[in-house]
């Protein structure tokens, strides 16, 4: 059966923030019994880490809360993603700018326009802070934000798509 909805999480390198968003959302979708209905993926705007597993600090922070990200592999976002996904969600404003440029190349064939991932939270925070050059607390913060945003996105998708 073809999933009813598809969602793509995008950051810069696809080894810290978007794999966290991917793994957390995947777990919540599984728990909700919706795995057959929702296709989930993640990608980076940059090609620095193609084919790599998530950063070890990202995997560790996720594991503390029971999420296994070890099977994920980095890929770069491409124009085709706007033909394939119903939601394309950017972790920060720079990622969003890159996605807006890519979206423009697809024109009216696009299934969706890119949005900021944290736009669904009432929080003052609109970007998921890049943890790559910081300490462990940054990775824990990414995890917490992804848990909050995943709940919000799952509610929105269920409502929009009648799941």
Residues lying near ligand 4NP in the complex (CB under 6 A) are found at 11-17, 44, 48, 130, 132
Active site residue 36: no
**From the CB of 132, what's the least distance to ligand 4NP, in Å?**
4
Which residues pair with residue 104 across a beta bridge? none
Active site residue 86: no
Question: Of the residues 11, 55, 57, 92, which is catalytic?
Answer: 11
Question: Of the residues 55, 81, 92, 130, which is catalytic?
Answer: 130
Is 1 exposed, middle or buried, given 0-12, 13-18 or 19+ CB atoms closer than 10 A?
A: exposed
Question: Of the residues 16, 17, 41, 55, which is catalytic?
Answer: 17
**From the CB of 140, what's the least distance to ligand 4NP, in Å?**
14
Which residues pair with residue 123 across a beta bridge? none
* Residue number closest to ligand 4NP, CB atom: 13
Q: Which is nearer to ligand 4NP, 14 or 27 (CB)?
A: 14
Which residues pair with residue 86 across a beta bridge? none
DSSP string, 83-133: HH-SEEEESSHHHHHHHHHHHHHHGGG-S---EEGGGGS-SS--S----TT
Active site residue 11: yes
Which residues are part of the catalytic machinery?
A: 11, 17, 130
């Amino acid at each position: 059966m073809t999933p009813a909805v598809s969602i793509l999480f995008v950051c810069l390198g696809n080894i810290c923030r978007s794999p966290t968003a991917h793994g957390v959302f995947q777990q919540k979708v599984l728990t909700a019994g919706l795995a057959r209905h929702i296709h989930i993926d993640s990608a980076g705007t940059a090609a620095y880490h193609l084919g790599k597993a998530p950063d070890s600090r990202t995997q560790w922070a996720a594991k503390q809360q029971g999420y296994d990200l070890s099977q994920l592999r980095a890929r770069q976002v491409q124009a085709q993603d706007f033909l394939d996904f119903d939601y394309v969600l950017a972790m920060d404003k720079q990622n969003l700018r890159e996605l807006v440029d890519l979206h423009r190349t697809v024109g009216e064939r696009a299934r969706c326009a890119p949005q900021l991932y944290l736009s669904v939270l009432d929080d003052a925070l609109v970007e998921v802070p890049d943890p790559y050059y910081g300490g462990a607390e940054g990775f824990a913060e990414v995890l917490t934000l992804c848990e909050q945003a995943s709940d919000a996105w799952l509610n929105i998708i269920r409502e929009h798509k009648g799941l």
